[in-house]
Structure formats: structure tokens, C-alpha cells
């Protein structure tokens, strides 16, 4: 149950009154004090009704807000706490709120590179102990995709801090294609996750535009003097990546119209889980297949997405993407041919030439 500001003022005022043991509090006394508080803090002059105060007391007594306040009535008219040490401020959050926090932390912990989430787990444990709730061993009810064996996750927290504090970094990096490591003077701007793999987007001092680094290819990072940091002046990254599947994009790349034909069996899947937010359904055919349009940058991740559908999808436009997918599918098919079915050396060389082009 969410608390609004006025209700919270009423509960706290009632609580402060009942903690004053030297005075006996009637319902009318509590109404007067709550009315004064509402006027002082919110400028409300209408006062408060007896019914509202009675409802507040009942709610404070219940577990709906996690208070379980031991409010009793003596001599049929005076309200007080049975436990003289009790206060609603002793229970800063309810048991229900605690459970929600625990579930939220479990979700956040899947981004295992953020050390702050481990700290959150400790905070929740301390809060849990402070309100004397039992630690249960209930099975997880949320399971998210994760890969704790992925390299580079330990860099997430320091990189996040460097971005927030605008600190340039000396990064030792070796891409899959490189034969040796290189040192990059790098101004970090954004951490981006794609399919459980993390990337750092920023500016390399010796190159133009943005550069994308895979965290699993970073060897070391060192902080540098802040005076060498180059601030990002481009469009916000939400817009920058709005026409992109994945992370592969240069500042010169622009989304292109891509038209795909999806077979009948997979059409419902693509309709309910669009390949990209720009997806539009152009036509639904009698056999159940559909034509869709997406406006995206032509990159490696797009090809991988299309290839993942196998025979269920066909690229209609643009022609260069259609040709590229055809070449890759043909090359893949060669891996499954028997020796007797394999093409001649001339044909193999032609396929190899196409793959390198």
C-alpha cells in the first residue's frame, strides 16, 4: 500500500503523541494535534475528522503498513502504546517492502559486474535484521539470462565510475583480429549490454568519432588526469542507437529500409516479438507469411539476427544485404555436404573469394 504525504504526516503525529507517556490522549486530543500538524506542514485549515483518525489508528494497528502498532485504549477513552518503547519509526520499512527490495536486488545482481549491487545485498540484510524478519530459503521465482564466466565483468564498476566522473582512461586492449595489445587513451561515455556481452563506447584520442570496445577484450585500465578527458558532444545515445541492432555503428552510419519475408510458422513470433522497434507489418499473405519492414543500420548483429531464423526468413531488400546473407548461408551449407557432394576446387575458391569480399 503506497503512502501519500498527508497520511504519513497523520501517522507520525499520532505516533509522537502516543509516545508521550506523561499525558493521556483522547480521540479529540489526537484530532487537534493532527489538525495542527497538517496546518503547519501543508497549510490545510479544514482540520481532520474523527472517522479519519479512527481509520488511521486501525491501519497503524494492522500489518498492512508493517507497523503492527500496539495501540490500546485505557478507561475506554485514552489511547496509548502498550509497549512504552514502541514507535513506528523503529520499523522504517514494512515486511512487504522488504520482500520487494529483496526481489529487486536479486534482479539487479544479475548485472554481476556492479559491485554496488553486492553492497545493496548487505544493506537489505541489515534492514532485514533490524526489523527482525526471518530469512527464508524460498526458491527463486525470477530467473534471468546471465553468463558469470564472461570475461571483463570486473571492469563494469570502475568504468561506470569513470563515465560518471568524466575520467579519461589508459586501456590495454586486444581485439579478436589484433595480434598484440595496444594502449588506448580513452574518454568513456557509455556502457552498453547486448546479449549478455558488455561494451564500452567512447572516444580514442588518436581516432575520429566513437569507438566501441568489448569488455572481454580489455586487459587493464588505469585512470588518467581529468584534463585530458574529451567530452561527448553528439546526440544522446538513446537516439544514436535507435536505428541499430546491437552495438556496431559509426557516426556516419544511417538506418536503411530492410524488407523481410517471414514464413507462416514464424510470423506470429516476429509479430509479438519484433526484430526491432521500427518494425512495421507491410503485408499478410494468404498462406500466413508476412512481409515486415525495419529501418536499421546494416551491421554484423543484423546479419546474425537474420541468420538465426535460418530458412524461416528471406531478405527482399536491400540487394547488398540479400547477397551477403545468401553468401553466408551457402558457405554454411558447404560445411554439411558429404565429400562426394562437395563442389569442385574452382567453386570452393569462388565461395572463399565471396566470403572475403
Cβ count near 162 (within 10 Å):
23
Residue 171: other Cβ atoms inside 10 A: 24
Q: Read off the pLDDT band of 36 (50, 70, 90).
A: very high
Mean pLDDT of the chain: 85
What CATH number does the domain located at 168-234 have? 2.30.30
Q: How do residues 253-267 score in pLDDT, each as one tens digit?
A: 999 999 999 999 999
CA torsion angle 248 251 252 257 (round to 10): 60
The predicted structure's pLDDT at residue 353: 44
Q: Is the pLDDT of residue 227 over 70?
A: yes
For the cut 90, the answer to whether the pLDDT of residue 243 exceeds it is: yes
Output the 3-class SS for 175-195: CCCCCCCEEEEEEEEEEEEEC
Given this model, what pLDDT does residue 170 score?
96
User: How do residues 179-200 score in pLDDT, each as one tens digit?
Assistant: 899 999 999 999 999 988 999 9
Residue-level pLDDT at 260: 98
Check if 5-89 and 168-234 are the same fold: no
**d(Cα 253, Cα 276) in Å, to the nearest integer?**
17
Q: Which long-range contacts (CB under 8 A, 24 or more apart) does 156-162 make?
A: 156/111, 156/113, 156/114, 156/191, 156/198, 156/215, 157/113, 157/114, 157/115, 157/116, 158/221, 159/188, 159/191, 159/200, 159/215, 159/221, 160/114, 160/191, 162/188, 162/221, 162/223
Residue-level length of the chain: 357
Q: Model confidence over 71-110: pLDDT tens digits?
A: 999 999 999 999 999 998 876 566 667 677 777 766 666 6
Query: Which of 31, 27, 28, 29 has its CA nearest to residue 39?
Result: 31
Supply the Cα-derived Rg of the chain in whole angstroms.
Answer: 31
Output the nine-digit C-alpha cell for 70: 500496539
DSSP 116-177: HHHHHHHHHHHHHHHTTPPPP-PPPS------TT-TTGGGHHHHHHHHHTT--EEEEE--SS
Domain boundaries, the chain: 5-89, 95-130, 168-234, 256-356
Taking the domain 5-89, which CATH number applies? Answer: 1.10.10
Q: Which residues pair with 296 in a beta bridge?
A: 256
At 282, list the grid cell: 507491410
117 or 345, which is more confident? 117
More confident residue, 141 or 210: 210
- Picking from 83-87, 158-162, 353-357, which range would have the lowest pLDDT averaged per residue? 353-357
**341 versus 205: which is more confidently predicted?**
205
Contact call for residues 251 and 210 (beta carbons, < 8 A): yes
Amino acid at each position: 500500500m503506497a503512502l501519500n504525504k498527508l497520511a504519513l504526516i497523520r501517522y507520525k503525529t499520532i505516533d509522537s503523541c502516543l509516545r508521550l507517556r506523561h499525558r493521556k490522549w483522547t480521540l479529540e486530543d489526537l484530532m487537534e494535534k493532527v489538525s495542527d500538524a497538517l496546518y503547519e506542514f501543508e497549510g490545510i485549515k479544514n482540520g481532520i475528522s474523527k472517522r479519519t483518525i479512527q481509520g488511521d489508528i486501525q491501519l497503524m494497528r494492522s500489518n498492512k503498513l508493517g507497523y503492527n502498532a500496539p495501540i490500546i485504549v485505557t478507561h475506554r477513552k485514552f489511547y496509548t502504546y502498550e509497549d512504552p518503547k514502541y514507535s513506528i519509526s523503529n520499523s522504517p520499512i514494512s515486511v512487504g517492502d522488504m520482500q520487494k527490495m529483496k526481489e529487486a536486488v536479486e534482479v539487479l545482481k544479475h548485472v554481476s559486474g556492479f559491485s554496488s549491487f553486492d553492497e545493496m545485498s548487505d544493506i537489505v540484510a541489515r534492514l532485514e535484521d533490524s526489523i527482525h524478519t526471518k530469512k527464508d530459503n524460498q526458491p527463486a521465482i525470477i530467473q534471468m539470462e546471465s553468463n558469470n564466466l564472461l570475461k571483463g565483468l570486473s571492469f563494469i564498476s570502475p568504468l561506470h565510475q569513470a563515465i560518471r566522473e568524466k575520467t579519461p582512461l589508459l586501456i590495454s586492449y586486444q581485439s579478436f583480429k589484433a595480434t598484440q595489445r595496444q594502449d588506448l587513451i580513452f574518454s568513456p561515455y557509455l556502457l552498453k549490454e547486448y546479449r549478455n556481452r558488455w561494451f564500452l563506447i567512447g572516444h580514442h584520442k588518436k581516432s575520429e568519432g566513437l569507438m566501441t570496445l568489448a569488455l572481454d577484450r580489455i586487459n587493464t585500465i588505469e585512470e588518467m588526469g581529468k584534463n585530458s578527458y574529451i567530452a561527448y558532444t553528439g546526440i544522446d545515445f538513446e537516439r544514436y542507437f535507435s536505428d541499430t541492432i546491437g552495438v556496431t555503428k559509426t557516426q556516419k552510419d544511417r538506418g536503411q529500409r530492410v524488407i523481410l519475408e517471414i514464413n507462416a510458422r514464424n510470423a506470429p513470433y516476429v509479430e509479438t516479438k519484433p526484430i526491432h522497434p521500427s518494425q512495421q507489418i507491410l503485408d499478410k499473405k494468404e498462406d500466413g507469411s508476412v512481409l515486415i519492414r525495419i529501418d536499421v543500420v546494416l551491421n554484423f548483429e543484423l546479419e546474425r539476427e537474420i541468420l538465426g531464423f535460418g530458412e524461416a526468413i528471406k531478405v527482399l531488400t536491400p540487394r547488398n544485404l540479400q547477397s551477403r546473407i545468401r553468401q553466408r548461408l551457402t558457405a554454411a551449407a558447404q560445411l554439411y555436404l558429404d565429400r562426394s557432394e562437395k563442389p569442385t576446387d574452382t567453386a570452393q575458391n569462388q565461395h572463399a573469394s565471396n566470403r572475403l569480399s
